[in-house]
Amino acid sequence: IESKLPEVKTTIFSSMSALAQQHQAINLGQGFPDFDCDPQLINYVHRAMTAGQNQYPPMPGTQILRQEIASKVSALYQAHYDAETEITITAGATQAIMTSILACVHSGDEVIVIEPAYDSYIPTIQLAGGIPVLVGMRFEDNRFSIDWDLLASKISSKTRLIIINSPHNPTGMTLCKADLDTLAAIIRDTKILLISDEVYEHMVFDGQSHQSVASHHALAQRSFIISSFGKTYHVTGWKVGYVLAPKLMSTEFRKIHQFNVFTVNTPMQVGIAHFMQDHQHHLNLSRFYQQKRDYFREALANSKFRLLPCEGTYFQCVDYSAISNQSELDFATWLTKEVGVAAIPVSAFYREQKQNKLVRFCFAKQSNTLINALQRLQQI
């Protein structure tokens, strides 16, 4: 077979998790909680299954879940999305990203991707026949930020799409209202569309609030906004997410969705919807994860690791240049094998190699896991 993605290997998340298991390391690499979800959520799913909700739901997802999402988005972001025509349930955010890209990128179109970037974006653009145009984030004084002038300079007549992600994996950076205004001004007189990957929308710290593209009218009109229940409800293995997009964009999205997965499993959708009716779980998530972030940061404050800011997500990036000169992949491998703590090299989020010395830890872990991992990291 002639590979369509010759440069692509097994994702770093799978390979680091396998390495962690092989060496019985504490896995702070791949992003997933090591604790379970609220038992009530499982009860609701169980109830849906025993009530016979086990056949195909409607193609865009169950009505009840789409309505719950519409209510949540309206309450949080003062944005109206029609459950019938503008909200589609997906098999996690990953499928939403792929389907959005396939829906709008034509062969030869350019897509602007801000690096470091989540690993699925670039291969998916390539599968759609698009050309990824990379814009590196600024990394100064130990802090990542987007250089909007640089991004604007990469726009051409072929630019079809820009992908943004806030809160940002892996850097933990968040976009503010001014960033969204700047982006809106840059694309105002163009037909460029936007994918806004907001899977960490409910993990924003230090009293800040998430700036959703949904609440930015000019941008929302041309955006696929993507979220994931896996992150919000501690159920990454369920693979249920959704996409919000204006009617015409949702119509194009659904044309592909129906031939990709057709629809997403029924009982999880019904269970999540009932849970959403009864619980405002998402409103407590930032506080919950901020405690873990603070604990993690305090424990490493006097170590040889230098902490980058973490404004959102459940990831903490650190600079290890005071410890080692190794490449990020070599260091993450060493850390897993010799120290017994797995991490993700930030280089995995770049197509072009950088000279940084950064790895990413996931702090979505039980206290005991964090205590044990931090003891090992403090000894370096």
Q: Pick from ligand GLN, ligand PMP, none: which does 132 bind, CB < 5 to 8 A by kind? A: none
12/184 with CB nearer ligand GLN: 12
Among 88, 124, 165, 265, binds ligand PMP (CB under 6 A): 165
We find the least distance from the C-beta atom of residue 210 to ligand GLN, in angstroms, to be 18
Please list, in sequence order, all residues whose beta carbon lies within 8 angstroms of the beta carbon of residue 298, skipping any fewer than 6 positions away. Answer: none
Decide: is 159 part of the binding site for ligand PMP (CB under 6 A).
Answer: no
Decide: is 212 part of the binding site for ligand PMP (CB under 6 A).
Answer: no
Question: What is the C-alpha to C-alpha distance for residues 35 and 362, in angstroms, rounded to an integer?
Answer: 13
Q: Are 375 and 28 in contact (CB under 8 A)?
A: no
Question: What is the C-alpha to C-alpha distance for residues 155 and 136, in angstroms, rounded to an integer?
Answer: 14
We find the least distance from the C-beta atom of residue 286 to ligand GLN, in angstroms, to be 18
Please list, in sequence order, all residues whose beta carbon lies within 8 angstroms of the beta carbon of residue 105, skipping any fewer than 6 positions away. Answer: 111, 125, 128, 129, 130, 160, 161
We find the least distance from the C-beta atom of residue 11 to ligand GLN, in angstroms, to be 5
Q: Which residues pair with 134 in a beta bridge?
A: 113
Residue nearest ligand GLN (C-beta atom): 31
Q: Are 126 and 5 in contact (CB under 8 A)?
A: yes
Question: What is the C-alpha to C-alpha distance for residues 43 and 56, in angstroms, rounded to an integer?
Answer: 21
Decide: is 17 part of the binding site for ligand PMP (CB under 6 A).
Answer: no
Among 236, 303, 324, 327, binds ligand PMP (CB under 6 A): 236
13/288 with CB nearer ligand GLN: 13
Q: How many residues bind ligand PMP (CB under 6 A)?
A: 13
Which residues lie near ligand GLN (CB under 6 A)?
11, 13, 30-31, 169
We find the least distance from the C-beta atom of residue 96 to ligand PMP, in angstroms, to be 8
Q: Pick from ligand GLN, ligand PMP, none: which does 11 bind, CB < 5 to 8 A by kind? A: ligand GLN
Decide: is 244 part of the binding site for ligand PMP (CB under 6 A).
Answer: no
Instruction: Detail the DSSP E strand segments found in 192-263.
Output: 193-197, 223-228, 241-244
Decide: is 199 part of the binding site for ligand PMP (CB under 6 A).
Answer: yes
Largest CA distance in the chain: 58
Residue nearest ligand PMP (C-beta atom): 92
Nearest to 201 by CA among 235, 162, 228, 237: 228
Please list, in sequence order, all residues whose beta carbon lies within 8 angstroms of the beta carbon of residue 212, skipping any fewer than 6 positions away. Answer: 73, 76, 77, 79, 196, 198, 201, 225
Question: What is the C-alpha to C-alpha distance for residues 289 and 282, in angstroms, rounded to an integer?
Answer: 11
Q: Pick from ligand GLN, ligand PMP, none: which does 228 bind, CB < 5 to 8 A by kind? A: ligand PMP
Which tokens belong to 380? Answer: 């370096």
Q: Are 60 and 66 in contact (CB under 8 A)?
A: yes
Contact range with ligand PMP by CB under 6 A, out of 92-100, 248-256, 276-284, 346-354: 92-100
Contact range with ligand PMP by CB under 6 A, out of 91-99, 136-144, 156-164, 270-278: 91-99
The 111-150 contact track toward ligand PMP, x by CB under 6 A, reads: -------x--------------------------------
Please list, in sequence order, all residues whose beta carbon lies within 8 angstroms of the beta carbon of residue 110, skipping any fewer than 6 positions away. Answer: 130, 131, 132, 133, 156, 158, 159, 160
We find the least distance from the C-beta atom of residue 258 to ligand PMP, in angstroms, to be 19
Q: Pick from ligand PMP, ligand GLN, none: which does 165 bind, CB < 5 to 8 A by kind? A: ligand PMP
Decide: is 241 part of the binding site for ligand PMP (CB under 6 A).
Answer: yes
Contact range with ligand PMP by CB under 6 A, out of 20-28, 90-98, 258-266, 325-333: 90-98
Q: Which residues pair with 166 in a beta bridge?
A: none
